[in-house]
């Protein structure tokens, strides 16, 4: 069973966490490179699980279309939001208070070397979390992430976008638990025009305790990925 080192970073600037992820990814890759040329004992790489929330920010993946941001520079500034073009897959999304953002920096050589399987495992974590609240989480064909689907239509509750280098992952998922859904009106979420966005509290019709959501996510990561979690000091 793999051990993963966990840290909740609090409400933190997006660029700061992006740089932090890059540093963890690069240090892991450097260990793997050294192991390949070493004739002696190999150093085991570590995997990390970072949870946080961000101030208002819109991020555009490397395959995204900037036209899906419906704000100009002045409107963006007036809304108190930042905007970044980043090196993950996917299109545009919003991060902000009331959204749990999860960044797994996993060395998949210690799990399985299959990015599609990794994405399905991330979706499984979210589907399991929703089940704890008696909500059925679903997949939508051709659209990575997790949705709530019923007679009212298909509503995205969790967006995903990852990057992997030498089987080390970064970026991850963004789960709406009590986010201001009006913020999504300023984008075409994930570049999908005919579907809406939702949150856990909107689906339940009541306020959600963040610490409970955080704890539930940790437990579901343990179960899906079969890991032990230790604090990252």
- Residue 104 and residue 188: Cα distance in Å, rounded? 26
- Residue 194 and residue 94: Cα distance in Å, rounded? 17
What DSSP character marks residue 44? P
Dihedral over Cα of 94, 222, 213, 7: its sign: negative
Closest among 113, 12, 214 to 21, alpha carbons compared = 12
Do 7 and 231 meet the contact criterion of CB atoms below 8 Å apart? yes
Which of 158-176 are b and which e, b meaning 16 or more Cβ less than 10 Å from the residue's Cβ? bbbbbbbeebbbbbbbbbb
- Residue 147 and residue 196: Cα distance in Å, rounded? 10
Neighbours of 78 (CB within 10 A): 10
Residues with Cβ within 8 Å of 121's Cβ and at least 6 positions away in sequence, in order, are 224, 225
Catalytic positions, written as ranges: 190
Closest among 44, 52, 32 to 3, alpha carbons compared = 44
């Amino acid at each position: 069973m793999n051990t993963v080192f966990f840290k909740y970073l609090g409400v933190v600037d997006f660029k700061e966490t992006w740089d932090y992820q890059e540093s963890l990814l690069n240090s892991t890759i450097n260990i793997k490179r050294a192991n390949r040329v070493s004739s002696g004992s190999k150093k085991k790489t570590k995997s990390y699980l970072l949870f946080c929330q961000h101030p208002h920010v819109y991020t555009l993946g490397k395959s995204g279309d900037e036209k899906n941001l419906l704000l100009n520079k002045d409107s963006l500034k007036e809304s108190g939001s930042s905007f970044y073009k980043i090196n993950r897959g996917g299109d545009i999304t919003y991060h902000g208070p009331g959204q749990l953002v999860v960044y797994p920096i996993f060395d998949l050589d210690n799990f399985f070397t299959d990015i599609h399987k990794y994405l399905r495992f991330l979706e499984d974590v979210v589907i399991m979390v929703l089940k704890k609240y008696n909500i059925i989480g679903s997949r939508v064909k051709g659209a990575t992430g997790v949705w709530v689907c019923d007679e009212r239509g298909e509503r995205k509750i969790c967006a995903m976008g990852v990057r992997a280098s030498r089987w080390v992952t970064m970026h991850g998922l963004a789960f709406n638990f009590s986010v201001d859904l009006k913020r999504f009106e300023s984008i075409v979420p994930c570049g999908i025009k005919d579907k809406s966005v939702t949150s856990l509290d909107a689906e339940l019709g009541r306020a959600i305790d963040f610490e409970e959501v955080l704890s539930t996510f940790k437990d579901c990561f343990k179960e899906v990925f079969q890991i032990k979690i230790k604090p990252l000091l």
